[in-house]
Structure 1
């Protein structure tokens, strides 16, 4: 093991003191040695430790001290005691405890200056300790997210001594020390063409070719080379090949996640490594319980980047452990977790409960990106969590200036999508209106349209902005460089225009030109209406035929002149008689049956979604008699006859004179 001398003019004990101490040790039994050593010899830490602790004798250092001073009381390599085996065991125990103390002290420092000051007091450092010290300098030395160390640290003589010795004693470094030094220097964004880095990489490549690197070292080397040379690094393939030949049982959880990160950088070769990925995914199931929050976040991120949609069992198991660690995640890690759950479509009521507690307690201190991502997750999974929504609404009212336009859009949209007004709705939308007035031009056109459309779903109509979004200037911005407007955007514009006509008759501004209006709100990509549930429709259709006497008396999937599609339409004349659906004359009333399946409600709820609520609201304003047939009421009926009686009550309870 290479020993790096940092200060050659270190404080030296007198020869007399050394002789006296060794003579005393000679005459003591072996079980008394440890006590004497603790009381008299302090080569490293006694002057540094703020409180008393047990001192350890470093035999290797003592041998070097003797040889440097020409004191041959005991020749190098000759045992001081007759019990050679006992002494070697004692020496190893003392060395291990010295290292433990060293690393404890090292991890307690919060600045590079403290680390350098600490190691400057040491006579010698093993290569592992020196590498650990360099790594700690890198961890704590960055200021304000700057990847480079301050100039004062780079010019520090101790830091330069570390780098100098690493460069000139590469062949003596252990594998772990070698890759640790390489990793630390790359994290500091050192010049890739510097002689130190080039020599480190060359030495690593030589040892890789000889097959002498262990699993952990291979993982560190792989990630370091990706950071230094990019995913196209030619050395990466041999590293992955060697890792494929290792037994996964020998990998630690940290190594498995590191392996995911290496493969994550090679997304263009996912198909090539898919068999290996399948093995890793299956093996990782057994490691989930031992992963830290940071590792869970990194594993989920890698699964997303690698598009491991077939690894849903692993995602589900990770989700069960995520809920336990939510308070321990950093804001950035929690964002990654939420992005992964959105990507894989995963949701869990226990995770939602833990998220509610976390957001409700810390919402005012959470990063805006976390707040908006939580709302995006709720919106995507249609989870109406009133504790989350209320806390987020309060946060936006108090701290709206912290949110970017895209974050504001992600924050507000779920309120409209899930048809929910928080207790402070008036303050929330007044604050939103002020933000839009002040920063209107900073919002991307599509983001702005989506935001205003969401407000209209819950009857918070953006009347003060309708003139702007119906103007040719805005429509041109919305179109951008494309030759046509996106169909979803046209549908949103059309519904906003319909809202201005039906719900805001006082609006007298510009109208939306017919060429920008759609004929139907059902689109192939993202519809403004939820398609009818087929099985639920079949149950209702059969009962309607029994009730009305023939299929002739109702129509299905009727497209109205107002862009909405009615699930089932029934026509009545002035006397309340049901007319055949083919008749257009003498129609006095139209009944619109909304056959609402589970997808028209918030998740695990009977709360109607915003797009269905606005549809039913508009149909009523257009003169339809809207009859809602929700799935949860139909599911309670046990027979066909019960369904018929249920529909009779729904359709004709207020028209006792009706005949069919």
Structure 2
């Protein structure tokens, strides 16, 4: 371990007789200090083999540090001379590193760190680098973008930096990369002499193959921060890391490796073989990762599009459950975004989220609230504890939510077909916000929000005239040549809602040119396609029940944009007619063959878009007969299926005869 004698970096030997730390340095400009250092250090190191490097401060007594170790303190005015090397070595031997790092990490400000360092006589270079890192860390925590001028001009800080700038070749690898990592935490400028010196020395050792795994990872991340992911040296770093045995990597370096590759996401294909090895090895270290590291790995997997790494995602998910209370808001948001991306869900994760959200109901960050809600919405998770807590937070802290976050919350309620207990207060608050700030909502965001309200029968009657106005439609169009299919479908369904469920609405209607013919489209559909296997099974039972295929039609597009899974036509007396007959049709039966995807996850609760479809079909005069998957799954034979369909179709209340 190298030792840096900072005492030599401060001033001429005669100046050390001045009582008080760094008094001589305060009287000289930094350039003068550098000149003296060069003159004093040059001959000393050129005439003999390199010796251990040390940081040395001059002060009357090492009061705080040595008193903790029980050392006797010298008289206050007794000078200490640089040639007393035996004394220096004794000081180093008596240093307790645990006490040093504990005191260093407890320092809450840069000034406190420097004040503590000023009480020490000598410092090994690793400790000096750690002190430099702590100075930068606490400045960053205070929200600083760069080191304050008071710190940069502090004599102790200047003295601490001198050996790192002028003699980086004397530093150990650990001290070198720690100092570099520290200075990249804050904006000190890539042209800084100190930074330039550290980077040059790191690159020199890199080309010699002298950096170990941790040094390579720190250098890679530092260069990304300073020069961007296009840095040419980065390829060499990744190449050298590929040649290392992953089993020798500590968990923190595996996480750093993910961050480096994430920064070079455009080259992910080139590194896919290496990524596969990392993904496989990472399975063995998941249990050792901190919440922050888990969040960073998941984020990297998303950016690098590692969809083939699902075993790793699933294992990370198991440990996420344990760490839910310990994630920061930002980390939790990244974790949930990754699970949304990979399509991962877990009932234990849902339970943990319910407990976490409920316990922090009114203190959660709006971004986290909207992400948790989006996660439930995307995965069709009807979690009443989460949705109720979200609704309560929304009512109490509405002013903190942005238009997009408000839309995401309401979309979740609409998609999951759920009204919270405080629904009246929630929609009253929402309406007030829209009346006062409606122009702050982007057109598509506003349309999605109001359409979601209609799914759960909270019809936006007061805003329909605005939605159907030419001005809004022009804003919705923007710079595009035509409106997207989803927006047109939402507008059309809102028009149908105004006619069927809000007959008292007398405002403008949507022009025919903006209306779609079908809500069922390959993408962005307002209907869920029928489950094919379930459909085939029910079809076979219908043929046996009705006697022939001609007595029912399948996948029928109605004049009202909805597609019916199976339609049966009845005459005035309730007898079944062939589907080709269009005369004497008195009643139409719509069979909704509802597979699992039409319900909330693991529940019998219809999604909002399926609920509004069945509601509208009834208002249009159809007799809606629901055939849910969970009833079909209980049937064990074809005979049971036929009997089940006959009960559904020919019950006393069905009005169907055969």
User: TM-score, normalising length from structure 1?
Assistant: 0.89
CA distance in 2, matches of 1:399, 1:361: 16
Partner of 2:421: 423
Aligned match of 1:288: 286
**What's the counterpart of residue 50 of structure 2?**
none
1:465-514 CA-partner distances (Å, limit 9, x unpaired): 11111111111111111100000100000001100010001111110000
Note closer, same or farther for the CA distance 1:565–1:657 as it changes in structure 2 (3 Å cut): closer
Summarize the Cα distance change of 1:45–1:591 in structure 2 as closer, same or farther, 3 Å threshold: farther
Q: What residue number does 1:38 align with?
A: none
Once the two structures are overlaid, the 10-residue window that deviates more, 192-201 or 221-230, is: 192-201
Deviations 1:140-170 (A, max 9, x none): 1136533212222222111122222321121
User: Where do residues 639-654 of structure 1 align in structure 2 (5 Å cutoff)?
Assistant: 639-654=637-652
Q: Deviations over 1:214-268 (max 9, x none)?
A: 1011100000000000001011011111111110011010000000100111111
| 1:225 paired residue number | 223
| 1:119 aligns to 2:136 (yes or no) | no
Match of 2:64 among 40, 47, 53: 47
Tell me the equivalent position of 2:577.
579
In structure 2, what is the equivalent of residue 5 of structure 1? 6
**Superposition deviation, residue 437 in structure 1:** 1.0
Distance 2:250 2:511 in 1: 64
Indicate if the aligned counterparts of 1:500 and 1:507 stay in contact, CA closer than 8 A: yes
CA distance in 1, matches of 2:374, 2:475: 25
- Tell me if structure 2 keeps the 8 A contact 1:491–1:521: yes
Map of 1:531-610 to 2, 5 A cutoff? 531-610=529-608
User: Shift in Å at residue 123 of structure 1?
Assistant: 1.0
Change (3 A) 1:381 1:43: farther
**CA distance 1:56–1:512, change in 2 (3 Å):** farther
Q: Tell me by how many angstroms 1:53 deviates.
A: 4.5
Which stretch has the larger CA shift, 609-618 or 145-154? 145-154
Aligned to 2:319: 321
Is residue 68 from structure 1 mapped to residue 69 from structure 2 by the alignment? no
Structure 2: distance between partners of 1:44 and 1:235: 46
- 1:519 alignment partner, one of 502, 517, 520: 517
Alignment of 1:2-401 (within 5 A): 2-5=3-6, 8=16, 46-47=63-64, 53-55=68-70, 68=82, 94=93, 98-142=96-140, 145-401=143-399
1:272 aligned counterpart, secondary structure: coil
- Residue segments in structure 1 that go unaligned for 5+ positions in a row: 13-41, 59-64, 81-90
Using the alignment, how far apart are the partners of 1:434 and 1:340 within structure 2?
34
Provide Cα deviations, 1:274-325, integer angstroms capped at 9, x if missing partner.
Answer: 0000000000000000000000000000000000000000000000000000
- Mean CA deviation greater in 298-307 or 171-180: 171-180
CA distance in 2, matches of 1:585, 1:392: 52
Within 2, Cα distance between the matches of 1:418 and 1:108?
A: 48
Paired with 1:284 and 1:394, the residues of 2 have a C-alpha distance of 40
Helix, strand or coil at the partner of 1:499: helix
What is the Cα deviation at residue 187 of structure 1? 1.6
Q: Distance in 2 between matches of 1:314 and 1:649?
A: 48
Do the aligned partners of residues 158 and 75 (structure 1) sit closer, same or farther apart at CA in structure 2, a change above 3 Å counting? Answer: closer
Runs of 4+ with deviation above 4 angstroms: 6-12, 42-46, 74-77, 655-658
Q: Distance in 2 between matches of 1:501 and 1:539?
A: 36
Shift of 1:411: 1.3
> 1:196: how far off?
1.5
How far apart, in 1, do the equivalents of 2:71 and 2:247 lie? 36
Moved more, 125-134 or 296-305: 125-134
2:597 is paired with a residue of what secondary structure? helix
What is the aligned length? Answer: 607
Which whole-Å CA distance do the structure 1 matches of 2:472 and 2:320 have between them? 43
Match of 2:478 in 1: 480
RMSD of aligned residue pairs (Cα, Å): 2.2
Cα-to-partner distance string for 1:108-146 (whole Å, 9 max, x where unaligned):
111111101100111111111111011101111136533
